[in-house]
Amino acid sequence: MTLTRRTLMSRLGAGLALSAAAPLRVWSAVETQLGTARITSLSDGYLTLPASFMFGPMPQADLPPLLERYGLQGDILKPDCNVTLLQVEGRNVLFDAGSGSAFQDSVGQLVDALDAVGLAPDDITDVIFTHAHPDHLWGVLDDFDDPLFANARHMIGRAERDYWLDPATVDAIGADRAAFAVGAARRLEALEDLETFEDGDELLPGVAAVATHGHTPGHMSFEVRSGSEALIVVGDAIGNHHLAFARPDWPSGADQDLAAGAATRVALMDRLASEQMAMIGYHLPDGGMGRVERGEDGYRFVPLGG
């Protein structure tokens, strides 16, 4: 497997290309060649989140030394958002669709990222969702509520689809995430030909679904394999490069099911470290591509070039 990195420039925000004084955001496109397949991590921008959103349910007495170790000071986290592009046998496959323009101002850069690698939304042949949170799903519709990737098949795990389309979800999910449920249902309903799959299904040649439930009830990861080489697109099953690695068994407030999310994270860390399989994490730094290594205390994320 050959890994390379390219750094590209993308203007932050719609319409800023008209202004010479507009701020620029630098983002990394990290590529790997896996047999005949090219895999590229593209930036959709970054989220702005209160630190308590993630750290709230963790053991508070044990938290400060780890926050200091990783330089996690202050009340705000700004995790990257990495959308994976798979190009193989004439197909341009996206894993997730980014946030679009309706979630946060710091995200919604995927169309610019595609343009930087020579692709337009109409060139995408398949969109496969890890789950239906806003930063993964909401970019699937354009500003007129039409499917942005007009020529693509759209696929999502059956359990994930059923959860977000259940009318009871908006009341059961909690007030702080009710907008997630409303937004997900509207977008999934707009995808009239939405296909579903189950754990273990081969979605495309060499691409298999891997159940990693907990972050959401039907969260899926995807193993991309060519011969003896493989890479796993983990979505939000591993949600950051610091405490998720150091203490994968700790509950994360980003997960909807705290216990299931932690159990999934522990199992996934063990597999990735044991098999030394490459991975892409949606919210990991530097394009999110790297490997998992065991340390004396937990695990650590080794990014490209690390």
| Token pair listed for 273 | 């470290």
Model pLDDT for residues 33-59, shown as the tens digit of each residue? 999 999 999 999 999 999 999 999 999
Say if residues 262 and 252 touch (Cβ distance below 8 Å): yes
Nearest-CA neighbor of 114 among 132, 131, 96, 102? 96
Fold of the domain spanning 2-303: Metallo-beta-lactamase; Chain A (3.60.15)
Say if residues 94 and 127 touch (Cβ distance below 8 Å): yes
pLDDT score at 18: 29
DSSP 78-91: --EEEEEEEEETTE
Percentage of the chain modeled with pLDDT above 90: 84
pLDDT band of residue 17 (cuts 50, 70, 90) is very low
Model pLDDT for residues 87-114, shown as the tens digit of each residue? 999 999 999 999 999 999 999 999 999 9
Query: Counting every residue, how long is the chain?
Result: 306
The amino acid present at 27, given as its one-letter code, is W
DSSP 132-145: -SHHHHGGGB-TTS
Q: Does the pLDDT of residue 272 top 50, yes or no?
A: yes
Q: Which strand (E) or helix (H) includes residue 118?
A: none
Give me the helix-helix angle, 158-165 and 178-190, nearest 10°. 110
Is 93 exposed, middle or buried (CB count within 10 Å of its CB: 0-12, 13-18, 19+)?
buried
Domain extent listing, the chain: 2-303
- Rounded mean pLDDT of the chain? 90
3-class secondary structure, 45: strand
| Token pair listed for 245 | 């690695």
The amino acid present at 12, given as its one-letter code, is L
**Average pLDDT of span 267-279:** 96
Is 284 exposed, middle or buried (CB count within 10 Å of its CB: 0-12, 13-18, 19+)?
buried
